[in-house]
Structures are given as C-alpha cells and as structure tokens.
C-alpha cells in the first residue's frame, strides 16, 4: 500500500495547546504519525532518536510539510539503552523548554527474527547468524534494552520533569499477548513493559502523573504484510496463514483507504489519535488503563488460573525420568523442590549460578542423606555453551532430561523499590540477568530436546516466580508478564515444529506464580504441582497458574500437600516383593501399589 500523505494543519488552540511532548522513536513510521497529530493539536514536540542525522532529517521533512519551525518541533539525540544518554537528553529538553508534559514511549527495535532455538545470545552468535545471511543486528540482550529498557530509562528521567497533569503513554503491541512466531526477543520485552506500565501508574498516580498503555494491532502497511509473509515461510504454512489468524481474532469490519468494508488492519492514524487523547486533558481521569487499537481483537490480558486443589502425589511415578532445576540465589528452596521430585522417583540435576553455592548445597544435601539421584553442578544462564555442555555430560553419564524447573536468579529482596528510583545497576540486572537469562534457558532446553527426541515422555517445563518480597512484588510482576509470553511463544513454536516434522516431541510448560501467598506451605505446594506438570505429561492450557492466597481456604485442605507417609511413590525403591495369589483381588492391588512405589514385584499364582 502506498504511503498516504498527511493533510494535517497545525492548530494554535488544539487539544494539546501549550503542552511540551517528548516522542521517542519519532523518526519511524508510527512515530512520525504521532508527531504530526501532536503538532496539529497545538503541542510543542521534541523528537528523539539514536541517530541524530536521521531524526533531524525526519523533523525537517515534517517542518516543511506542516509549516512549523524549530521552536515547535525540536530534536534531541537519545540512546534509550544508555541511561546516561537519556539523562543528558532529558536535561537538554528541560533546559530548552522548562518541563515535560507528555512522554510517548514509542521507541523500540524489531529484535532478532529467529525461532527460539536460533536466537543469538552473544555477539559471536550474532556474527555467525549474519555470516549465514541473516539481516539481524541485535542479540537478545540488546533487543531487551532497546525495547523495554528505553521505556524504563526515559520514564525514570522524564518523571522528574513532569508535574501534576503529566501523561506517560507507553506504546506496546497486541502481539505481546498472542503467539508471534520467531519474535521472542521482540514480544517478551514488550510483555514486561505492559506490567511495567501498570506498576508505574500506581507509583506516579499520587503525584498526579497518569500512565497508560496502548496496544496497537497489526498496523496497515507494506511492512506488516511482509512480516506476515516471512512468518508463513518460516513456519512452513500456506501464504496468508498468519494474517488470517489475526483477522479471525477481530470483530470489526471497516472501510479504510477507499476500500470496501472488510476485516483489515488498523492504521497509523488510529494509533496517533489515541495518543492525542491520552496526552490531552480529555483523558485526565485515566490512569493505568489499556487501550487496544486492534479492530476488536479477542485477546485475554493474562492466560491465568488459580489452583483450587492440593497436589496429591499418590499416582506420581517419576521412575526413569530426570528433572533439571535451574536456580540462583534460592538454592535452599531449590533443594527442597528437588527432594520432592526425587520422592516421586525422578532423578534431579540441580544447577546453580555460582560455584560457591554449589559447594554449600552439596554439603547440605550430603548432610541430609541425599543419594546418587541428586546431582548438583554450576549452571550459569549467562554461559549458554557451558549449559549445553553440562546437559550433554549429564545425559551421557546418567540419563536424558525430561523436564525442567526454572527459578529466578535473584532472590525476592534483591530488586525492590520504586521503578523511577531504580539504579542503573538494578535496571541492568533485571534485563540482563532475569529476562535475558530466562530466554537463554528456554533456548538451551529447546535445543537439547530437539537433539534428544526419543524421551520416555514428551518434555515438560515450569517457570517459578519468587515468593513475595513483601514490598509490592513490582519486579516479580514484570518478570511474570515477560515469562508468560515466553512460555506462549515456546509452546507455539514447538507445536508448529512437530506439525511440520522439524521435531518429534512437542515441549509444553507453564508458569507458577507464588508471590501472592505468604504461607509456610508455599514451597511444598508449588513443588508438588510442578511435579505433576513435569511427571504426569498433562497439558494445562492456561499459561500462568497462581498459588492461592490461602491454600487452606482455596483447597479445603489443612495441608498444602500430603506428607511423605501418604505418598507411596518412591517409598519402596530398591526393594523386591514376592506376592502369592497376586493375579487378582487384594493381591493384585497390592502388587500394583508396590510397583507404583518403586519396588520390583513378582506375582505367583496357580
């Protein structure tokens, strides 16, 4: 579709008259539409971008087109991934204009366009991809910083220059809540930004600053049609499959561009006018709201459910299965979770981030009487090649991994406090350690399970959140949102691969959210349900599963999980039983239960 030329005319008395607006990513297609509509409504606009020449060229074109001068449309260089660059740019804006009334967080990048198993984690992997013909220019970490980091960094700096009535508008994408093939590094940071926006609205609301979120749908352009066509090819589907999937989610038919009424994509103008409303005083009562500009796409905000039963373990049989537990600072909880998997008959490979923790955990496990079914190693998610080597070594020495539990690296009290007051180090840790680390873990296991495709059962994985930090769980909420989207993309890509014969066994998993429960039973309850996901081969469609605030009230049970005396699985491992009259009746039932408990059973009958 040809690019339409705007016919907007600047208006002195428009809805944004007298307001100072900063628009990030302003030189792009959507950013340019937002800038034009803001100028037309009377705002003074500062366009920001990483490349000064490109930003200034875009501004000059708009000035000439709309007849505004540099006093109404200025530019400033800003690299959103560099906190100091952001602080310098915002200081420049305040020096020139005195304040900021509106911030539109529109900047972002496309991220590497690769399936999960091929995502580049470091520069060497990116270079290898480029040598093979890829046009990707970012690693996973760089994409996270350029998509989510820029919104966080600019909001931190701009909030200090905003007063009552200020408006922050975060531009996300509806794809952060839907499957979106081979775009993990784009949609996972956007999902984190969704939760960030909500938390920031709670934080800045008392200061009179409102924060709202815009979810554009697929925006009408040649680019989106090219993106969808590429996805069809990468997936192995017929042309038009991806576009039709999104059309099917829409409820609105509309005439656009002089065409007949039909299901089509929203336009850049639709997004820009929504941003005008949110920047104006017409939206003075809106804070923490989501605005979906999608032609009525049916997309849930969160695919969630809450556990309403305790995790009975009586039918659990992990014999012959092995579980990886990738943990960080919470190695003590990881040991407790490992013991429950072992009690179900599974072997456990416990991977910890630091070698010092490995030594301590090994000593603790030995003191508690752990046997050879527990192996503890260093497993650092910042070292993807070492993780893959460790899994292969364990598989060669012992057995193949059939399930995985992923825990956060940082403990619940390590990242706390207001988002606008976060240090550069905390922002970097959250993005590089937790977010990029989770994607690195997912990539490692996806690759591993593609190589080892003849497992006793289809692979299963579970992400666990931290327990509550007691201070609002702000960072946990952002990681929860990012993880849900990661799980969604991983599931879909795996299923598509199986459909097209690229892998034999589909990977399936969930996320268990723990921070809403402060009870002592939290760990055992969570571990029990994680075991059922990993060892029972069931598929729970809801991505995110919440531990209830009160386990007793929700489940009607006094205990979070049956004690080991009630759990027969693993109770008689290594024992041999001889049962006479065991072909039927009581003898047959006893034989079955002893076999479930891990014993070797011989039945004798006439």
Range 126-130 contact pairs with CB under 8 angstroms and sequence separation of 24 or more: none
For residues 164-175, average pLDDT:
97
Predicted local distance difference test score (pLDDT) of residue 522? 95
Please name which of 35, 54, 28, 197 lies closest in space to residue 107, comparing C-alpha atoms.
28
Which has more confidence, 597 or 350? 350
Mean pLDDT of 315-324: 89
588 pLDDT exceeds 80? no
Q: Classify residue 262 by burial, with Cβ atoms within 10 Å: 0-12, 13-18, 19+.
A: exposed
Architecture of domain 20-112+142-219+267-300 in this structure: 3-Layer(aba) Sandwich (3.40)
Among 250, 269, 231, which residue's Cα sits nearest to residue 3? 269
According to the model, what pLDDT value does residue 6 have? 52
| pLDDT at residue 258 in the model | 80
Query: What angle, 0 to 180 degrees and rounded to 10, lies between the N-to-C axes of helices 150-159 and 184-204?
Result: 20
Tens of pLDDT, residues 333-391: 999 999 999 999 999 999 999 999 999 999 999 999 989 999 999 999 999 999 999 99
Residue 500 contacts residue 549 (beta carbons within 8 Å): no
- Per-residue pLDDT, 7: 64
Q: Quote the CA–CA distance of 104 and 271 in Å, as a whole number.
A: 12
pLDDT tens digits for range 458-488: 999 999 999 999 999 999 999 999 999 999 9
pLDDT of residue 605: 73
Tokens of residue 372, six digits: 């050879």
Its pTM stands at 0.90
Phi/psi at 296 (5° precision): 75, 35
Element containing residue 444 per DSSP (H, E)? helix 436-451
Architecture of domain 305-555: 3-Layer(aba) Sandwich (3.40)
Average pLDDT over residues 430-435: 97
Residue 394: HSE in the Cβ half-sphere, 13 Å Cα cutoff: 28
pLDDT at 447: 97
* pLDDT, position 597: 65
At 219-247, the pLDDT tens digits run: 988 889 899 999 989 999 999 999 999 99
Separation of alpha carbons 582 and 230, rounded Å: 61
Q: What's residue 217's pLDDT?
A: 94
In which band, very low, low, confident or very high, does the pLDDT at 2 lie, cut at 50, 70 and 90?
A: very low
Give the least confident one: 347-351, 548-552, 578-582, 595-599.
595-599
Residues in the chain: 606
Among 281, 295, 158, 115, smallest CA distance to 215 is for 295
Give me the percent of the chain exceeding a pLDDT of 90.
81
Which pLDDT belongs to residue 4?
Answer: 43
Residue 43 banded pLDDT, cuts 50, 70, 90: very high
Q: Which of 105-109, 256-260, 552-556 has the lowest mean pLDDT?
A: 256-260
Task: Encode pLDDT of 90-149 as tens digits.
Answer: 999 999 999 999 999 999 899 999 999 999 999 999 999 999 999 999 999 999 999 999
| Residue 167: pLDDT over 80 | yes
Residue appearing with tokens 């609205």: 201
C-alpha span between 94 and 151 (Å, rounded): 18
pLDDT given at position 570: 55
Domain residue extents for the chain: 20-112+142-219+267-300, 305-555, 572-606
Strands 210-216 and 347-352: unpaired
Six-digit token string for 416: 């706390």
Average pLDDT for 32-43? 96
Kindly indicate the confidence band of residue 566, based on its pLDDT and cuts at 50, 70 and 90.
very low
Helix (H, G, I), strand (E, B) or coil at 424: helix
DSSP symbol at 139:
-
By mean pLDDT, which of 7-16, 102-111, 153-162, 319-328 is the weakest? 7-16
Question: Which residues fall within 8 angstroms of residue 350, CB to CB, at 6 or more apart?
Answer: 325, 327, 331, 334, 335, 338, 361, 374, 375, 376, 377
What pLDDT is stored for residue 25 in this prediction?
A: 93
Rg (CA), the chain: 27
Q: What is the DSSP letter of 369?
A: T
Element (H, E) at 367: helix 355-367
Per-chain mean pLDDT for the chain: 92
């Amino acid at each position: 579709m040809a690019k339409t030329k705007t016919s907007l005319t600047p208006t002195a008395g428009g809805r944004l008259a007298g307001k100072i607006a900063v628009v990030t990513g302003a030189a792009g297609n959507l950013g340019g539409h937002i800038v034009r509509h803001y100028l037309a409504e009377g705002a003074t606009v500062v366009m920001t971008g990483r490349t000064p020449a490109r930003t200034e060229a875009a501004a000059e074109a708009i000035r000439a087109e709309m007849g505004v001068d540099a006093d109404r449309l200025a530019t400033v260089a800003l690299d959103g991934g560099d906190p100091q660059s952001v602080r310098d740019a915002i200081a420049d804006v305040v020096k020139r204009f005195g304040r900021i009334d509106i911030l539109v967080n529109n900047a972002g990048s496309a991220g590497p366009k690769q399936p999960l198993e091929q995502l580049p984690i470091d520069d060497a992997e990116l270079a290898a991809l480029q040598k093979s013909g890829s046009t990707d220019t970012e690693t996973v970490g760089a994409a996270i910083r350029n998509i989510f980091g820029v919104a966080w960094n600019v909001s931190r700096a701009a909030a200090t220059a905003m007063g009552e009535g200020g408006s922050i508008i975060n531009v996300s994408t509806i794809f952060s809540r839907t499957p979106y093939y081979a775009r993990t590094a784009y949609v996972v940071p956007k999902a984190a930004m969704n939760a960030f926006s909500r938390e920031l609205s709670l934080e800045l609301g008392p200061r009179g600053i409102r924060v709202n979120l815009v979810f554009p749908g697929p925006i009408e352009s040649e680019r989106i049609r090219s993106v969808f066509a590429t996805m069809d090819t990468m997936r192995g589907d017929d042309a038009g499959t991806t576009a039709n999937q999104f059309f099917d989610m829409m409820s609105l038919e509309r005439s656009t561009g002089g065409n007949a009424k039909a299901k089509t994509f929203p336009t850049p103008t639709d997004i820009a006018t929504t941003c005008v409303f949110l920047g104006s005083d017409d939206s003075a009562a809106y804070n923490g709201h989501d605005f979906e500009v999608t032609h009525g796409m049916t997309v849930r905000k969160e695919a969630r459910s809450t556990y309403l039963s305790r995790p009975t373990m009586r039918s659990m049989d992990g014999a012959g299965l092995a579980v990886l537990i990738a943990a960080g600072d919470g190695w003590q909880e990881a040991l407790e979770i490992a013991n429950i998997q072992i009690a179900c008959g599974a072997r456990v490979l416990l991977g910890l981030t630091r070698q010092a923790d490995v030594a301590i955990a090994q000593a603790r496990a030995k003191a508690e009487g752990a046997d050879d079914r527990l192996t503890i190693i260093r497993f650092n998610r910042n070292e993807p090649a070492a993780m893959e080597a460790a899994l292969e070594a364990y598989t060669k020495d012992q057995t193949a991994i059939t399930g995985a539990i992923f825990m956060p690296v940082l403990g619940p009290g390590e990242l706390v406090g207001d988002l606008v007051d976060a240090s550069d180090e905390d922002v970097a840790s959250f993005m590089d350690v937790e977010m990029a680390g989770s994607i690195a873990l997912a990539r490692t296991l996806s690759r591993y399970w593609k190589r080892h495709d003849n497992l006793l059962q289809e692979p299963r994985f579970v992400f666990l959140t931290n327990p509550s930090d007691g201070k609002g769980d702000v960072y946990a909420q952002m990681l929860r949102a990012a993880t849900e989207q990661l799980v969604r993309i991983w599931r879909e890509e795996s299923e598509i691969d199986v459909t097209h014969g690229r892998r034999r066994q589909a990977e399936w998993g969930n996320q268990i959210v723990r921070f809403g429960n402060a009870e002592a039973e939290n760990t055992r309850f969570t571990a029990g349900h994680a075991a059922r996901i990993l060892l029972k081969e069931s598929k729970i469609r809801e991505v995110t599963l919440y531990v209830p605030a009160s386990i007793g009230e929700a489940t009607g049970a006094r205990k979070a999980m049956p004690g080991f005396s009630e759990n027969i699985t693993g109770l008689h491992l290594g024992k041999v039983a001889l049962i006479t009259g065991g072909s039927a009746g009581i003898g047959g039932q006893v034989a079955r239960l002893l076999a479930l408990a891990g014993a070797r059973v011989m039945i004798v009958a006439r």
